[in-house]
Structure 1
Amino acid sequence: MADTKREIERKYEGPAAEGDAGLPELTGVAGVASVIDKGVAELDATYYDTADQRLAAASLTLRRRTGGSDAGWHLKLPVSQDVRDEIQAPLSDDLPRSLSGLVRSRVRDAELVPLVRLRSARDIRHLVDDSGALLAEVSLDRVRAERLSGGEGTAEWTEIEVELADDGDPAFLDKVEKKLRKAGLARSSSASKLAKALAETAPKTKGKKPKAPAPETEPVTAGDHVLAYIRAQRDAIVELDPAVRRDVYDSVHSLRVATRRMRSAFRSYGKVLDRTVTDPIGEELKWLAGELGVDRDQEVLTERLTQSLADLPRNLLSGPVRTRLRTWSHARSSGSRRRLIAVLDGKRYLDLLTALDAIVADPPLLKAAAGDPSTVIAKAVRKDFKKVSDLIEEALDRPSGADRDFAMHEARKKAKRTRYAAETAAPALGKPAADLVKSMKSLQTLLGDHQDSVMVREAVLGLAAQAHAAGENAFTYGVLYGREEQRAAAAEAALPEAWETIVGRAAV
């Protein structure tokens, strides 16, 4: 079992932290009533990574630590500057499965090896307010680092760490920092102890210093723009994997969108990237989006039905409708959740990640990739827009019913593709492409609301059948079905004017 803690902390270094200087006086920090000495903790942590340091490259740290109040396995995932999520698991000899899955999108089939050992003497102080509540923990860490693989170096340093109390106000850290700066301290030049240890214990190279990686250049050609978009989606898929495994809100949806964006880019820009290479990968992305959709579609249905029930007057609620909805939702989500984790743990998914890396590293560029983006990319966007236009006209020509529902759903999918193509084009084409993104997003919302009503009505019919079989009153399900029919009709009625407005704005 693993626990998650949101960690907000800052690290400081400087002459005031070295030698026997100790911690600066902190009783003068605004809001601090007293500083409590919590003694010295002896910490011994071994950090694990692949031989080529894939976790460190992504600012992830994985360690096994003894000593202190939280001995065990710790995985830290970056959230934003100064903020990380720390996933904790009990102390054991081997890496717990609850953590190994969270690094799998980075590690793949590579072996995790002991990389660095850090032993720290941590002198701890608690800053508390006048009620005795903890505001922050401040520690002076005297660290000794020992390289365990990829080198044999050692290093020693002293740093000060300030960690905000759970649910604390991040602005309090600014007050502490003001005091520390006056004492001669500055923010640490390293993002973490591990980063500093890796830098300090790296093997010394003879002769010239190795060249720093070349900074990414601004995209120029059509191929540059498409590849920048593809790379961003590849990175998003890898980065979102742990969040999906942890069931972080909206992570499944975000990962699904990244897979769709990449697949759409492959199809929209088939004159830039060779589709004989990208189509097989696109099929695998479609498979992954479908697996993700099982969980996501359930979320959408549950949220919409729950809100619909909340909006109903009490006199229209008959029978145990809320209880049945909860039971139905839990049963479906539990099964889909287990299936999704199995997918992410499977070889097919890992092979897809490897294929995405290969596309980014060695893209199958065609002749048009070297062309002017204002010509090549604009042409691709116009082609996608024309497909949306044809489908909208087809939907408007059909009578209300299953055929129109299908046509509107197809138009929605093409609107998404056009939106993603315009997103790719926006850096090159500027405002016209950005405006098209907004237009397609609004169209997608309108058509999506219609499609959701179709799906919800199917779910309501199923729930009504279950309720009837159980001898329950099914009246409320009929009310819900009727309201969804009205929402669908409203979306259909709004479509002609919305589309006319979009056509009038289109300028790509």
Structure 2
Amino acid sequence: MEREAEIEQKFEIDPGFTPSLATVGTWGEPRSFTLTATYLDTPEHALAAAGWSLRRREGGSDEGWHLKRPRGSEPGRLELRLPLADELPAALRAEASPIIGAAPLVPLATVRTERTETPLVVDGVPRALVALDRVTARAGARTETWRELEVELVTGADPALLSEVTAAMLAEGARPAAHASKASRILATRPTPTEGSAAAALLDYAGRQVGMLQAMDAGVRVDAPDAVHKARVATRRLRSLLTTFAPFWDAERTEPPREELRWLAALLGEPRDAEVLAEEFGDLFAELGPGTVADGVRSAVLGHLADRHRWGHAALVAAWDTRRARALRAALALLLAEPPLDARAAGPASDLLAGLEAAEARTERLAQKARRRPGELERWHRVRKAAKAVRYCTEALAEVLGSDGSARAARWEAVTEAFGTLQDAVVAAELIEELADATDATEDWAVLADIQTDRRTAALAEGRAALDAALTPTR
């Protein structure tokens, strides 16, 4: 990664303005080119507020990814550069993490600059570059065009030169620019959702999930602890948000990413499910103690799950950088940059409570069907998935629900955790049955199967009790 101090000054200029700077130096040979840059920030403009900027720029001699940040007490800013790539390099996101944390970085502005750049020669040596720019910037539906002038010192030039150039520019009629960057100018008037609106609540929750997916990107690739799990949960939460609150979204724009989120969740699920089962069987074997189960049985189970995890993660990584996955990540960023919201999202966030009530009612209907045939565990699995939607709803509407929000979310978390244990026991039993022919230790396999049967019974009872407790306030 290249790191270079950038010492520059921007000026606002009137039409036809051409600097002479005769008191400072002479001009070198000009050159003209076009720059196209996409600026990224959090939806709340956290980078801009801290005096940072992040862009992907094409054209010019230094095209690539650029992150600029203040240099503390030193003049100018520090510019970090990486080569041009389709997606934001993880290293630059890591550099920005002190400012953004786990917030999403999304493309908020596109800036096209037609630039004429001329060296300013002092004592026979180019000491600065003076750029006369015609700028066309777009942020959402807004487009603005203006002219500005930028002076940047060449590496090694005396910082005092910038003060001298600035004084000459002001004397000739230029004015110090009101904004630190081209993007900050167009973003200054970018509309944001009204506080307390449905739009604000939806975008806040969506932003947290997109941010988590971005933050886990590097960890997913190397299978860092909990990275795949967190990415999977964020994917599920996003899909649930688009589904449960569908009336508040523009379905034409949200349906494609919603379906692609299903695909991504399945990819993340393969290594994660194997990881969970391996942990559970590892704990079980440790609890049973040495000699209780034959070594061949332990090896068959843990070896199978290790292979399954390895294959699942390899398939995930292979898919992670495909055009399909990149398109999904871009669509999720656009979900925040140019929100596909229906007009009703402009109403109060309390309007979203209807979606929560509908999700609870659906869970109740599925629970009634499951109670009629409690032995059909697939019915309880459907209840679990519906309960997850309710749980995610309560998370998204925490501010609307007020003091009851945390307790309500905890009740639904208890439901999903208990039925999650039930589903894990079902899958574990299926694995035991599948692997039982791998060794001759018939009795050992039977012991493991009996344990999963007992586990299913206990988890089902716990899940039903938790479900009754969660539904009672809504009945």
TM-score (norm 2): 0.64
* Correspondence for 1:397: 372
Q: Which runs of 5+ in 1 are unaligned?
A: 1-47, 65-73, 85-104, 108-145, 158-202
Q: Show the counterpart of 2:456.
A: 488
Which string of whole-angstrom CA distances, capped at 9 and with x for unpartnered residues, describes residues 311-358 of structure 1? 114453224223223421232222112111111110000011111122
Task: Give deviations 1:16-66, integer Å, cap 9, x for gaps.
Answer: xxxxxxxxxxxxxxxxxxxxxxxxxxxxxxxx98428756379996779xx
Per the alignment, residue 9 of structure 1 pairs with none
Kept in 1, the 8 Å contact 2:66–2:82? The answer is no
Alignment of 1:229 onto 2:205: yes
Runs of 4+ in 1 over 6 A off after TM superposition: 57-64, 215-218
Helix, strand or coil for the counterpart of 2:203? helix
- Corresponding residue of 1:355: 331
- Match of residue 260, structure 2, among 265, 278, 284: 284
Q: How does 1:406-417 map to 2 (within 5 A)?
A: 406-417=378-389
Secondary structure of the structure 2 residue equivalent to 1:220: coil
In 1: Cα distance, 2:347 partner to 2:396 partner = 15
Cα distance 1:54–1:397, how it changes in 2: closer, same or farther (>3 A)?
farther
Letter in 1 for 2:385: K
Alignment match, 2:153: 153
Of 441-450 and 209-218, more deviation after overlay is shown by 209-218
- Could you list the per-position Cα deviations for residues 479-505 of structure 1 after superposition, in whole angstroms to 9, with x for gaps in the alignment? 111101101001222334322322234
Alignment partners' CA distance in 1, 2:80 and 2:430 = 46
Deviation of 1:248 after TM superposition, in Å, equals 0.8
Q: Conserved in 1, the CA contact under 8 Å of 2:193 and 2:200?
A: no
| Match status 1:383 vs 2:358 | yes
User: What residue in structure 2 maps to residue 207 of structure 1?
Assistant: 176
1:77 to 86, 94, 99: 94
Q: Which residue, out of 410, 420, 443, partners 1:475?
A: 443
Measured in 2, the distance between the counterparts of 1:421 and 1:60 equals 41
Maintained 8 Å contact 1:446/1:491 = yes
Task: Tell me how far 1:76 sits from its aligned partner.
Answer: 8.2
Alignment of 1:272-351 (within 5 A): 272-351=248-327
Specify the code of the residue in structure 2 equivalent to 1:296. Answer: R
SS for the counterpart of 1:430 is: helix
From 242, 245, 249, the equivalent of 2:225 is: 249
Note closer, same or farther for the CA distance 1:426–1:481 as it changes in structure 2 (3 Å cut): same
Q: Which residue of 2 aligns with 1:264?
A: 240
Contact between 1:419 and 1:441, CA under 8 Å: does it hold in 2?
A: yes
SS in 1 for 2:340: coil
> 1:332, 1:60 → 2: CA distance?
44
1:288: how far off?
0.4
Equivalent in the alignment of 1:24: none
Q: Is the 8 A contact 2:106 2:333 kept in 1?
A: no
Q: Please, which runs of 5 or more residues in structure 2 have no aligned partner?
A: 1-53, 59-63, 70-77, 84-90, 108-127, 132-149, 158-165
Moved more, 216-225 or 365-374: 216-225
Match of 2:67 in 1: 56
Conserved? CA contact 2:366–2:382, under 8 Å:
yes
Write the letter of the residue equivalent to 1:209: A
Shift of the 398–61 alpha-carbon distance from structure 1 to 2, 3 Å rule, reads: farther
Distance 1:220 1:396 in 2: 39
Distance 1:318 1:280 in 2: 49
Deviations 1:81-109 (A, max 9, x none): 59x9xxxxxxxxxxxxxxxxxxxx999xx
Change (3 A) 1:151 1:328: farther
**Stretch of structure 1 that moved more, 428-437 or 215-224:** 215-224
Question: 1:90-239 maps to which residues of 2 (within 5 A)?
Answer: 153-154=153-154, 207-210=176-179, 219-239=195-215
Whether the 8 Å contact between 2:240 and 2:389 is mirrored in structure 1 is yes
How many angstroms apart in 1 are the aligned matches of 2:382 and 2:97?
A: 38
The aligned residue for residue 12 of structure 2 is: none
Q: Percent identity?
A: 26
Deviations 1:118-160 (A, max 9, x none): xxxxxxxxxxxxxxxxxxxxxxxxxxxx99x998535679xxx
- Could you report, residue by residue, the CA deviation over 1:448-507 in whole angstroms, capped at 9, with x for unpaired residues? 00000001111111221222xxxx423222211110110100122233432232223459
Change over 3 Å in CA distance of 1:313–1:358 after alignment to 2:
closer
- The number of aligned residues is 343
**What do the CA deviations read for 1:275-299 (whole angstroms, capped 9, x no partner)?**
2321221000000000111111111
If the length of structure 1 is used for normalisation, what is the TM-score?
Answer: 0.60
1:501 aligns with 2:469: yes
Partner of 1:192: none
